[in-house]
Amino acid sequence: MPFSAPLRPLSLALLLALPTLAAQAQTTTATAEAGTLNTVTVEASADASAEGLAKPFAGGQVARGGRVGILGTQDVMETPFSSTSYTNELIQDQQARSVADVLLNDPSVRQARGFGNFQELYVVRGFPVYSDDVAYNGLYGMLPRQYIASEFFERVEVFRGANSFLNGAAPFGSGIGGAINLLPKRAPNEPLTRIGAGIQSGGQAYVNADLARRFGPDQSTGIRINAVRRDGGTGVGDEAQALSALGVGFDWRSRSVRLSADMGYQDYELREGRPSVTPSATLPIPRAPGSRTHYAQPWTYSQETDKFATVRGEVDITDNIMAWAAGGIRRSTEDNVLSNPTLNNAFGGTSNTRFSNTREDKVSTGEIGVRARFATGPVSHSMVASAATFSNDRDNAYAISAGSVRNNIYQPYDSFYPVANGAFVGNQLSDPRLTDRIKTSSVAIADTLGFFDERLLVTLGARRQTIDQKNYAYNTGALNSSYDKSRTTPVAGVVFRATPQLSVYASYIEALVKGNVAPTTANNLPVTNGGEIFAPYRSRQKEVGLKWDGGSFGASAAFFTTAQPQFYVLNQTYGENGEQRNRGLELSVYGEPLKGLRLLGGLTLLDAQQRRTQGGLTDGRDVIGVPSQQLNIGADWDVPGVRGLALNARLLHTAKQYANAANTLEVPAWTRFDLGARYLMDIGNGRVLTLRARIDNLFDKNYWASVGGTQGSNYLMMGSPRTFSLSGSVDF
């Protein structure tokens, strides 16, 4: 794909917008200088809320709070849950390119992939969160499915734990271990014109632009435009990426009304992506190949194009009553040719088929709500009620090859492009048809009661959720199976401010997950109940914790227990085959304990066990792909005596993981080091140049980074090789 072609519409939009933005900014400045109007200070607000974004914590890497579902933006010390909001300052300083790059900082999160594809998948507290279920400004299903460029978001908010009351049931079937919400960018109070460029290992290069202005005599209207183009290799053999993305955000506010809107476009292609590897059931886990070894076939690729738009508004009915509404749509297309190898001997030999598929998604969602604050005697109340709806129609088609694709993970070679097997073709690749339809709707109500001058906060609430699923047969379009029922998920939480610096909390909350759909094939053979929809299921979570705010340094500890049913194929039949029970302890630190030294990280200890397995054969064994320890620790240091220079380092450690239910296949633990530096300089005329350099996987560690991700699966994903990144940006 030529570099210049996808860039032309992005460049044109920027060139057309820049003169207008600059002229408006000059007019606004001149008016203000004339003294004819008093400028209203506008807080950057990603969700059209009166509160705006939560303030950064000391050090600027995380925020003091974030969105807690329908409860709105809250200070982290006042919520009975565990969460972290990573700021745009951290995203820029680490040259993060996607959500996965940002979440490398979180000790409760590890990255994996979807089953047999290149979809980003995040494992939170040992449970998967699909990229489909990442929320955008509080709305599910709005973002690209496989890869989300960092240019689209201001912050990454990680909520740890079950959350169906707060956010509604995740529509694509994950979210038991947590939720991820991305906040879009808004125009700051000061004009912003930032142009950047960078390169990384493998020959990949990028250019981007970030432009923002506020308009009007009171600066009430804002616009922000972000555009990026990336293209080139990744450092893994012949693997290459191409990305074009454009995001536009608007906001407007008066004294009692706040509005915001976002539009986005992303075209992403991964060429010859290094696939996951399924181990042999009878052989030990093989040593990881060299970090740059490329065992993908030259004819494999994955491409996705997405267009989305959202809108959100708030109105103050009275000083104590506020109503809101939000909605969005997304249209996306995917085209993939994949071949994920399975090991068949001790020397790295593999075999597999070619799997091709096309997909189209039509997503729409909406939400309305009202929030009121009042008091009954000495007790304060913050009540909220909301209603939400979601709809997704998925058109799909697939074809599986007749011949086997041979390869070797240590000495790779190209294999022929096999033709499709007529017995394993679903619909037409050129014309995918409706195969799945899901609609959800819910109503929720909650009250947070404050006692003793709000030193004691008690939250009680419930959400009534309806899930309507339909699955249609490939080729015929006949209705395979359906489900349409409702469940109620409650929440109860208490926070006690023992001192101004220390909070103690406890909570009970549930997750509601849509019923799994049995796959049509497994192990290249038909599944006996393919297409069957299973009933939604609930997961119950209990949690207690401590939070400490030392002003410049913060820390938290949380102990939790969560369980969910296990679904996977057994004897070519898909069904519920046991339960996964995760218990864990999370320890986190963040802030700036010493002037010029910023720390961020923590330790997660997990005990993930199988229970109620068939015949009790693997009861008490570890769950596939869930390590017992995850450690992340990062430091960012301003070098004394050299103004504008800062160095940063990060250590990631993941304990061993098991790749089968019997725990006889063990994937070794791994440790990785990352280093970075940045330098800011004034280059005159009000322009600031920022240079950043980074080395990820400093010692070029060869390792299997994760096992599985999709429940019951044990595929292995290689860690990235040592990667050098260099970027520069100029603020005008």
Q: Write down all domains in the chain, each with its CATH number in brackets.
A: 4-731 (2.40.170.20)
What is d(CA 226, CA 17) in angstroms, rounded to the nearest whole number? 11
Whether the predicted pLDDT of 354 surpasses 90: yes
What is the band of 615 on the pLDDT scale with cuts at 50, 70, 90?
A: confident
- Residue 46 pLDDT > 80: no
∠ CA 661-666-672, rounded to 5°: 130
Query: How far is C-alpha 483 from the geometric centre of its chain's CA atoms?
Result: 28
pLDDT tier at 49 (50, 70, 90 boundaries)?
confident
Please state the separation of Cα 361 from the chain's center in Å: 19
Q: For residue 404, what pLDDT is reported?
A: 85
**Spacing of C-alpha 260 from chain mean position:** 22
- Tell whether the torsion through CA atoms of 418, 422, 423 and 429 is positive or negative: positive
Closest CA to 303 of 330, 333, 260: 333
Confidence band for 420, pLDDT divided at 50, 70 and 90:
confident
Determine the 3-state secondary structure of 31 from DSSP. Answer: helix
What DSSP state is assigned to residue 149? Answer: B
Name the phi and psi angles at 627, rounded to 5: -75, 155
Nearest CA to 472 among 481, 484, 460? 481
Residue 210 CB contacts under 8 Å (≥ 6 apart), including other chains? 151, 185, 192, 193, 194, 196, 224, 225, 226
Query: What is the SS3 string spanning 98-146?
Result: EHHHHHCCCCCEEEEECCCCCCEEEEECCEEEEHHHCEECCEECCCCCC
**Between residues 531 and 471, the one the model is more confident about:** 471
Of 29 and 549, the structure prediction assigns the larger pLDDT to 549
Q: Which residues is 490 bridged to in the sheet?
A: 462
pLDDT given at position 524: 67
Query: What pLDDT, on a 0 to 100 scale, did the predictor assign at position 30?
Result: 36
| Sequence letter at residue 447 | D
Does position 294 have pLDDT exceeding 60, yes or no? yes
**What is residue 39's predicted lDDT score, i.e. its pLDDT?**
34
- Give me the pLDDT at residue 51, please: 73
Mean pLDDT, all residues of the chain: 91
Distance CA 348, CA 289 (A): 9
pLDDT tens-place string over residues 532-549: 888 888 899 999 999 999
Residue in 119, 101, 117, 137 with CA at minimum distance from that of residue 174: 119
334 vs 524, more confident: 334
pLDDT, average across residues 314-321: 96
Query: Would you call 272 helix, strand, or coil by DSSP?
Result: coil
Res 326 pLDDT > 90: yes
H or E segment at 421?
strand 420-426
Structure tokens at 258: 């706040």
pLDDT in tens, 228-260: 999 999 999 999 999 999 999 999 999 899 999
* Polymer length in residues for the chain: 732
User: Per-residue pLDDT averaged across 301-324, rounded?
Assistant: 97
Is the whole model's pTM more than 0.85, yes or no? yes
Q: What is the DSSP letter of 697?
A: S
Tokens of 416: 């022929």
User: Which is more confident, 615 or 76?
Assistant: 76
Cα–Cα distance, 441 to 437 (Å, whole number):
14
| Residues 126-161 pLDDT 10s | 999 999 999 999 999 999 999 999 999 999 999 999
447, burial (CB in 10 Å: exposed 0-12, middle 13-18, buried 19+):
middle
113 or 6: whose pLDDT is higher?
A: 113
Q: Which two structure tokens, joined as six digits, stand for 536? A: 């939604």
- The DSSP secondary-structure symbol of 5 reads H
Summarised one tens digit per residue, pLDDT across range 653-691 is 999 999 999 999 999 999 999 999 999 999 988 899 999
Type of residue at 667: V
pLDDT at 424 over 80: yes
Given pLDDT bands bounded at 50, 70 and 90, which one contains residue 646? very high
Strand partners of residue 674: 650
d(CA 456, CA 551): 21
What is the share, in percent, of the chain residues with pLDDT greater than 70? 93
How, if at all, do strands 135-136 and 178-183 pair? parallel
Q: Is the pLDDT of residue 36 over 60?
A: no
Q: Please determine, for residue 344, whether its predicted confidence score (pLDDT) is greater than 70.
A: yes
DSSP state of 2: -
- 624: Cα within 13 Å, side-chain hemisphere: 25
- Tell me which DSSP letter residue 475 carries: T
The answer to whether residues 713 and 707 touch, using CB atoms and an 8 Å cutoff, is no
DSSP 39: P
Least confident of 29-38, 482-491, 568-577, 617-626: 29-38
Q: Can you state the percent helix, strand and coil of the chain, rounding each to 5?
A: 10, 55, 35
Q: What is the DSSP string of 302-332?
A: EEEEEEEEEEEEEEESSSSEEEEEEEEEEEE
Looking at residue 37, its pLDDT comes to: 31
What is the rounded distance in angstroms from the CA atom of residue 654 to the CA atom of residue 650?
13
| pLDDT at 7 (0 to 100) | 35
- Tokens 């017992």 correspond to 628
**pLDDT exceeds 90 at position 325:** yes
pLDDT at 705 over 50: yes
Task: Report phi then psi at 572, rounded to 5.
Answer: 65, 20
Tell me how far apart the alpha carbons of residues 432 and 28 are, in angstroms, rounded to a whole number. Answer: 51
Secondary structure element (H or E) that encloses residue 33, with its range: helix 4-34
% of the chain with per-residue pLDDT over 90: 81
pLDDT digits (tens, 9 = 90+) for 209-221: 999 999 988 899 9
Separation of alpha carbons 351 and 321, rounded Å: 63
Identify the residue with better confidence: 519 or 356.
356
Region 30-50: what's the mean pLDDT? 44
Write the CA distances from 453 to 71, 449, 496, 517, 556, integer angstroms. Answer: 20, 11, 11, 49, 23
Residue 613 contacts residue 578 (beta carbons within 8 Å): yes
Q: How far apart are CA 368 and CA 391, in angstroms?
A: 16
The answer to whether 425 and 400 are in contact (CB under 8 A) is: yes
Are residues 136 and 288 in contact, defined by beta-carbon separation less than 8 angstroms?
no
Residue 52: pLDDT band with limits 50, 70, 90 = confident
Note the pLDDT of residue 50. Answer: 72
pLDDT of residue 25 exceeding 80: no
445 CB neighbour count, 10 Å cutoff: 16
Mean pLDDT of all residues in 408-437: 92
One-letter amino acid identity for 579? E
